[in-house]
Copies of this chain bind each other. A is one copy, B any other.
């Protein structure tokens, strides 16, 4: 699963850029998910008076609306990007409106001042309204997501050859010799692959005697899921090492 972010100030063309990218990734046969980061204080997706709203008002910590054509999981707190990514299993996840992570980024801007404001070492393309006027800025390609989306998505495919093994800096690690930000920047420039990351080999997966190489993000996803499921068992009591064996289905049972 490859994750990147489209960010920039309001009215710079973020959503239009994201729409173009999603359509083109889909056209190429990829499965795509997206996250929209919403800064608006009053944002609430449910409507006062609905049954789901009443469940929430009564105190439910999580409410799911299960419709005939959609399922909506409503969680009354802001989750971290790491937590949110555990919901996805698509090929690509596009995030709109996040700039404070180590995720590779496309910067949307209306003019040079907005580019200068947003530019950093994790930006691999510039798009948005400024792409009507410029095609390059300090050797970073400026690409219009309406008229030239194929070239933009070619660049995404090229840059996202590896998924990042982390989203934020892994504190007190430096096991690979550099900071996570430096490693992210090197991966983006094709000078590292992500396998250099040595953070926390806490989850070891063995298939037929071969150990799988599992990156840090997936390790944390697996560990947190298992602990969440096991925490409800009377027979499990916390921070212990454990082994799990997943057997092949060995009979005709179906559910």
Q: Chain A: residues with CB nearer than 8 A to chain B?
A: 1, 15, 18-20, 22-23, 26, 31-41, 43-46, 51-52, 54-55, 57-79, 81, 84, 87-90, 94, 96, 166, 168, 170-173, 199-208, 210, 212-214, 218, 220-223, 225-226, 228-233, 235-236, 239-249, 252-255
Cα-based distance from A102 to B47 in the complex (angstroms): 31
- Pairwise interchain contact B77-A69, C-beta atoms closer than 8 A: yes
Candidates B15, B65, B171, B202; contact of A249 at CB < 8 Å: B202
Cα-based distance from A241 to B200 in the complex (angstroms): 24
Q: Assess A62 versus B38: contact at CB under 8 Å? Given A203-B246, A205-B230, A243-B243.
A: no
Q: CB-nearest residue of chain B relative to A91?
A: B232
19 A-B pairs in the complex with CB atoms less than 8 angstroms apart: A1-B232, A15-B51, A19-B54, A34-B60, A36-B51, A43-B68, A45-B67, A55-B94, A55-B96, A62-B90, A67-B78, A70-B74, A71-B79, A72-B73, A73-B75, A73-B84, A200-B253, A218-B230, A244-B244
Cα-based distance from A177 to B243 in the complex (angstroms): 30
- Pairwise interchain contact A242-B232, C-beta atoms closer than 8 A: no
Cα-based distance from A214 to B79 in the complex (angstroms): 28
- Pairwise interchain contact B63-A36, C-beta atoms closer than 8 A: yes
- Pairwise interchain contact A63-B78, C-beta atoms closer than 8 A: no
- Pairwise interchain contact B38-A246, C-beta atoms closer than 8 A: no
- Pairwise interchain contact A168-B58, C-beta atoms closer than 8 A: no
Residues of B within 8 A of A35 (CB): 63-64, 66
Residues of B within 8 A of A170 (CB): 253, 255
Q: List 17 additional contacts besides A62-B90, A73-B87, A222-B246; criterion CB under 8 Å.
A: A15-B54, A19-B57, A23-B58, A23-B59, A34-B64, A38-B68, A44-B69, A45-B46, A64-B84, A64-B87, A67-B78, A71-B78, A170-B255, A203-B244, A206-B243, A218-B233, A226-B244
Residues of B within 8 A of A229 (CB): 89, 218, 221-222
Candidates B37, B61, B88; contact of A66 at CB < 8 Å: B37
Q: Assess A199 versus B59: contact at CB under 8 Å? Given A226-B222, A228-B89.
A: no
